[in-house]
Structure 1
Amino acid sequence: MSDLTSQAEHPQLSSEEIRVASEPFRRIVAEVGKVVVGQEILIRRMLTALLAGGHLLIEGVPGLAKTTAVSSLAKAVQTDFQRLQFTPDLLPADLIGTQVYRPQDQAFVVQKGPIFSNLILADEINRAPAKVQSALLEAMQERQVTIGSETFPLAEPFLVMATQNPVEQEGTYPLPEAQMDRFLMKVVVDYPNRDEELLILRRMSKTDKTIALNAVTSPEEILSARKYVDRIHVSAAIEEYIVDLVMASRKPVAYGLQLEGFIQFGASPRATINLTLSAKVEAFLDGRSFVTPQDVKAIAMDVLRHRITVTYEAEAEEMTSEMIVQTILDGVRIP
């Protein structure tokens, strides 16, 4: 298909069209904010994952409202939500389901597991053994589950929000790099500041913590909004900027970055795809029909931090993947 044909079939979106289409998602931020205090970035990243069709890996200590955030999101979207507590004795059947024999019918029937929901919170995913992690990640990638000889598609939208505790690593099964790469983003959740902590105290220090949330959008509207996201314009200069950021993680010397010996593996082509798609969602949520360099920089840390593997030399120098990403963002020329 030529560029002219493509432009004729998908004319440039106007800012007004984008503003109207993205309005329900800005209301979601306000609605979830009634319950969750001080986690605006987390809420926005959950919306990015929903609209980009990806998944989130969340790292943060207990008590930072990760579960509350995703359950509140489910209420604001008016969709199904399941929380799965991952433990060392968890089995794949506990997640995806199994076949159950019914004596009255003399036949096996499929009993679906909790994975058949729109929003999934996989709490402490690194506490489950590799087989369970693989079952979840297969569902995330293929958007389907096989039980016995039958294959069942998962309903869209389908978002997995998997959490990891940065402390208490004893008895855990860390996710391999290839599995980490399947997450759209890795978000690090930090403690609230003093003002936010004070607001949490005033809002939540009571026995009845119930706060009514209104459903402001539906799964159908999310699927419709994804079509607008696909039509967000990305200029050639922005495309080259995105490619340069990813290439700099593989060949930093070519970009004049003093990172030689610190990077074992750079970001994969999946990073290029996800960085572009996430930047388009950033523009959409801001009510724009085009991507700016600031959209790319705003999302780059969360898209790239878990896709760069540091060397032992970097660990000895206390150089983290976040520091490497920041060096790349500071060193690569902005168009």
Structure 2
Amino acid sequence: MGDEVLRWIVEVARQFMPNRHFPDKAVDLLDQAVAHGVSRGLTAVTRVEAEAVVKRMLGLPSLERARLASLRDRLVQEQLLDDDSAERLVGRLEVTSRGLDLRAARPNAVVALGGEMHEHAPALAEVIAEGLYGDARRVVRIDFARFQDDASLTALLGSPAGYVGYEDRHALYALAEMPWSVVLCDRIDRCHPSVLAAFLPAITQGVITDFQGRRIYLSDAVVLMTLGAARDREIGTIGFAAAAPASDRDEPEPDLTERLGPELAATVDFWFDEAPATSALGSDWITTRLLPEVAARHREHGVTLDWDASIVT
């Protein structure tokens, strides 16, 4: 391996692995690149081989127009977003993933999902992760509804050194190990106010510090936030055609401001609360996406669901 490749590995580790420290992170990349070459009987590892290994390890976003166009098509074909919404979301990801965002420290996109879209959030997260990062498993899912008091902060950010639970992995641990990912914040409006306040810098500044002093970055992530059913009133239907990026609005939607607070609501780039018409759903999507998700939710409560193919014909 030549000096040029070694310098490139060090630079990649510096730029794309902010949650880890030198020299370990550069050594890990070097080890993986060498192992890749040895397994293929190569006598030398070039920049091309090293890039392939690094992209697989880190899940760096695809900047190829064909891949991003494919992501847009999948969002529409799988009935997750309509044409206009998919176009705007992928257009933003194309800009921010290239580091051209005016607020580069923030996540690449912040999407709020309410109403019907709450149910589509897991599928949406997986499709974005696969289309942008190359792997549907690059999804970090956190249920904020379980953080109901001040003590819940330790579940989100870990325990300080010397306290019970110090060695336990907190909710953001997976993000620290996998910064290039989709962060799915389920029912974020249902958590304790102190938890929401503690999490706010992760969105507004793109970084949050856990109770062990480690900085965890979200600047390379896509954040999806789902909102539970409105407590006191029905959510107003905004619809896809009327939805617009927060940067295009004078102020956040009133419902978002009420439920997330003005600071967090102001960071939302897209607000989707209405799924494409269910009459347009194909039987393939229903059998491969919708029904398995319903079955999985019931399985958590000890209920097994089976269905006959005739229900989707």
* TM-score (normalizing by structure 1): 0.45
Q: Identify the structure with bigger relative contact order (alpha carbons < 8 Å, sequence gap 6+).
A: 1
* TM-score (normalizing by structure 2): 0.48
